[in-house]
């Protein structure tokens, strides 16, 4: 059916789990970015749910901006080709930039964003991701802060999508294999 819970096999991170990640990471970032007035960059679209909860746990004066560098399109596998869909509004020169991500998978998206921002003269560029799918890493890129490691499962919710849907699920769940199969066999 069309109900979001029908496509979930099991819950992986509950709302409480995610809240705890935000509290822990928020404290760490509060210490590490004290006095730096960082530019917090949300990677559209997946990062928005994590960003709003995480930044409210950061007792640090900062500014917000967004960068859309989608590579997966509407699909479920990276095309490997990354392009800027919507660029930052801010000038990052001499700024401490903190990229927020929902997940780092192959690392291609994060590496592209870090290289882009470093190339524009940022003072520092770090990333805080909710999830780190380390086993899938294809390129050498640091995930400076993350909430949890995650295995090679198709996760949706809390920003993570399948075909650009189901981001609004308040927890992170594993997609039922048959939901993926339906599209793979097309």
Residue numbers at the binding site for ligand PRP (CB under 6 A): 43-46, 70-72, 78, 101-110, 161
In Å, how far from its chain's centre is CA 57? Answer: 17
Please, which residue, 24 or 83, has the CB nearer to ligand PRP?
83
Does 94 participate in catalysis according to the annotation?
A: no
User: Based on CB atoms, which residue is closest to ligand PRP, 36 or 72?
Assistant: 72
* Tokens found for residue 42: 């949300």
Binding residues for Mg ion restricted to 49-108, rule: CB under 5 A = 72
Q: Which of 148, 123, 130, 154 is nearest to 52 (CA)?
A: 130
- Count other Cβ atoms within 10 Å, centred on residue 184: 9
> Torsion angle of alpha carbons 49, 52, 57, 63, nearest 10°?
140
Nearer to Mg ion, 118 or 154 (CB): 154
In the complex with ligand PRP, the residue whose CB is nearer, 61 or 84, is 84
Site for Mg ion in 15-54 (CB under 5 A): none
The single residue of 53, 102, 105, 161 carrying the catalytic annotation is 105
Question: Which span (35-43, 78-86, 145-153, 172-180) binds Mn ion, by CB under 5 A?
Answer: 35-43
Task: Give the integer Cα–Cα distance in Å for 156 and 36.
Answer: 33
* Beta-carbon contacts of residue 45 (< 8 Å; ≥ 6 apart): 68, 70, 159, 161, 164, 167
CB of 68 to Mn ion, least distance (A): 8
From 26, 42, 46, 173, residue interacting with Mn ion (rule: CB under 5 A)? 46
Place of tokens 């960068």: 67
**Tokens read off for 162:** 């399948």
CB of 23 to ligand PRP, least distance (A): 22
Residues that bind Mg ion (CB under 5 A): 72, 161
User: Which residues are the active-site residues?
Assistant: 105
Residues that bind Mn ion (CB under 5 A): 43, 46
């Amino acid at each position: 059916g069309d109900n979001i819970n029908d496509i979930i096999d099991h819950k992986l991170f509950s709302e409480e789990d995610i809240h705890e990640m935000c509290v822990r990471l928020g404290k760490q970032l509060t210490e590490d970015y004290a006095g730096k007035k960082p530019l917090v960059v949300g990677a559209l679209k997946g990062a928005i749910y994590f960003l709003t909860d995480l930044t409210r746990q950061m007792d640090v004066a900062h500014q917000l901006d967004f960068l859309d560098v989608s590579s997966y399109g509407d699909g479920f596998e990276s095309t490997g080709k990354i392009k800027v869909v919507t660029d930052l509004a801010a000038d990052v020169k001499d700024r401490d930039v903190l990229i927020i991500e929902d997940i780092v998978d192959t690392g291609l998206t994060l590496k592209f964003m870090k290289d882009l921002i470093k190339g524009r003269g940022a003072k520092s560029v770090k990333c805080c991701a909710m999830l780190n799918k380390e086993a899938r890493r294809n390129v050498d890129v640091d995930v400076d802060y993350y909430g949890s490691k995650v295995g090679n499962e198709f996760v949706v919710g809390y920003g993570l999508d399948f075909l650009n849907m189901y981001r609004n699920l308040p927890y992170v769940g594993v997609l039922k294999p048959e939901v993926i199969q339906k599209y793979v066999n097309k």
